[in-house]
Structure 1
Amino acid sequence: MYPNELNYTMPPEWGKHERTFISWPVKASMCFPEDHESVCQGYTDIIKAIAEFEPITVVVNPDELEAVERLVGGPNVTLLPIEHSDAWLRDNGPTFVVDNEGTLAGVNWKFNAWGGKYSPWDLDDKVAPQILESLGLARFDAPLVMEGGSIHTDGEGTLLTTEECLLNPNRNPDLERGEIEDRVRKYTGTEHIIWLKQGLSGDETDGHVDNLACFAAPGKVIIQVCDDPQDENYGITLENLQILENAVDAKGRKLEIITIAQPPRVNHEDSRLTLSYLNFYFVNGGIILPVFGGTAAETDKLAEQVLADVFPDRRIRTVNGMAVIREGGNVHCTTQQMPAGK
C-alpha cells in the first residue's frame, strides 16, 4: 500500500522535531577539494548551531568517526557511521512521514546525483534505508528519482515544486508529468501541487525549490525575488511570483506572499553561486539562516528582519553562508528534519 492509503503525510518543516540529520562532507567527492578544511569548519558551525536547539545526528564515514567526534562532539550531537560519497542529506536522505496516530515512517526516494552529475552515487542511494533501519522505522520505497530539496509542503495537503527539476528528463525520463505528480502525491500524502517554473540562476540541482520559495505557514509563502531587470533571476522570480499570486492551495485559499530580496550576485571561477536566504532551516524554537557578508551585508540584515517579523516566536540564528556554498548548497540542503511522533 502507498503511504497516503495508510494515512501517512509529510508534515511541515516548522513542526516539532525529534532531531536533525546531517552528513559529513567527503573530500574525495568535493567540487573543490582544496576547500575541504574550510567546508568542514562550515559544517561544524552548522552542526553546533542546530545543537543549540535540538539533537542532531551526523552521518559519518566509519573511518572518519574519531576525527569528526573531535570537531563536533558535545551535548545534543551523535554520530552515525554510514558510508557515503556526498553530503547533501536533504536530497539523498529519507523523507519522514507521519500517520494519524503519530507513527513515523520514511520514504526512500531513488537518488541519481541530480541527474547523473556526480559519479558514483551508489553509496548515497543507500543512505536513506540505513538511517531508517537505525531508527527502526517502516520504509516506503518510492519508484521515483527525487531529491528532498525539490519539494516543500504546508502540512495541509499542498506541495511546492518546480517544473525545471521534477520534470527534468535526467530524473525520470520514462514518466509523464501526470505520473510523476501521482507518485509524489501518493508518497507524501499531499493533494495539490503548485508547480513553479524555473529555479534560481546557477543552481546545479536543476531548480530546487528550497532555494526559491517555501511555506511559512498554511496559506503563506516566502519567495526570494530580484529587482534588477539585467539579472537572470529577475524574469525567473517574476514568473514564479505571478504563479503564486494566481494559485490556490489544497484548501482553496489564495496565498499570502512574503518577499525577501536576493543578495548581490557572487561568482566563483566564472560560475554564479546560488546565494539564497530561502535555504534557511527550521529548528525547534528557531531558524538557522545563512548570511553572506561583504556586498550582501545590507540584504543579510533585511532577510533576518523579514524572518524575525514572520516568525516572532523563533530565534534567528545566523551562520556563515559562504562556508559551504561553493560546493553547491547551503544549510537546508545539508539537513533533514525528523519530526516528533506521539
Structure 2
Amino acid sequence: MTNNPTEPAIAVTGLRRSYGSQVVLDGIDLHVPEGAIFSLLGPNGAGKTTMVEILSTLIRADAGEARICGHDVVRDPDRVRAAIGLTGQFAAVDNFLTGEENLLLMADLHHLGRAEGRRRTADLLDRFDLGKAAKQAGATYSGGMRRRLDLAMGLIGNPRVIFLDEPTAGLDPRSRRDMWQIVRDLAARGVTIFLTTQYLEEADQLADRIALLDHGRLVAQGTPAELKRRVPGGHVELRFADDLALAAAAATLNVAPDPADESLVLRVPGDGGVRSLKALLDRLDAAEVEVDGLTVRTPDLDDVFFAVTGQPASGVVPAAASATVSASGSEKVTAR
C-alpha cells in the first residue's frame, strides 16, 4: 500500500524534459489511481518513452515532480524501483538462457531466496502459458512468447505499478489479444498499468483513462467514451428492403436520404446510445416501417486525435470499427 491511501499510484506535476532545443515534455500533469489501466497515446517522437523513462527512474526530468506509490522518483529512486516493473519496446530476454532460467535470474536480481524464486518462477510460467517451453532457450521463442516472458520477468518482484512501453509492437493480432488479456488480469489483481501504445484499438480496449500527447503537451484526457463524445459525427445507418420502406422511414424521421446513394440506406444523426437507438426504432415501429438492418457509426480515437490536434494521428495505428446488427439480431464488426 502507499504511504497515503488517498494518494494516486502515479502523480505527475509540471514535468518537463528537453533534448537540446527540442522540448519533449512540456509541463505534464497527470494522476493515475491504484489498480487502473492508464494509456498514453501519441505518434512516434511524441515523448511517450521519455515519460516512461522518467517515471521508472532511468532518466531525470528537467523540472517538475513525479511520485510513484508515494515515493519521489528523484529523492527516493530505490523505493520507486522496488514498487515498479518495466517492459520496454524490445523484449529483454536472454536468448541463451531457457525461459525458466531467465525468470530465475530475475529472482536472483531481486534477492529472492532460492525456494521463493523457484515458486514465483513456476507460478509465472504457468500464468503466462509458458510451462511447456520452460526448458527451451529464449532464441526458440516466438514473438508473442518472448513478450509474455519479458512481462513475466518484470513481475517476478510483485510490482504494484507496471510500465508497458509499446508491449505489443510487432505482434500478430492473436498474440496481441493474448497480451491484452494478461493486462486485464493484472489490473483485476490490483496492479496499476501505465501503457504507452501506437495502437488506438489497444487503448480503446484496455484503458480506463487515456491521455493524448502531442508536441510535448497533453492535449486531452478522459475515458475512451468521454473522449469520443467530444467529436461530432456519430450516426445510425438504417438499411431497408425497398424504396417504399426507405421513403416511409425518411418521412417518419424527417431525414432526407442521400440522393447519390442507391444502397437503400438512411443515415440518421445520433450518439449511438441505447436509449436514443431504442427511441429511434420505436418511432419506426409505431409507423409500421420495417428495418432490414442497422449500423451504429461512432467517432473513434483517431477522430479524437484529429479533433484535438488538427492533424491525423501520424505514426499511430487506427483501428476504427462499428457495430452492425442485422434484422435477425446478429452482430459483426465492420471496419470504417
Same fold by TM-score greater than 0.5: no
Alignment TM-score, normalising by the size of structure 1: 0.27
Please identify the structure whose Cα radius of gyration is greater: 2
TM-score of the aligned structures, taking structure 2 as reference length: 0.28
Higher relative contact order (CA 8 A, sep 6+): 1
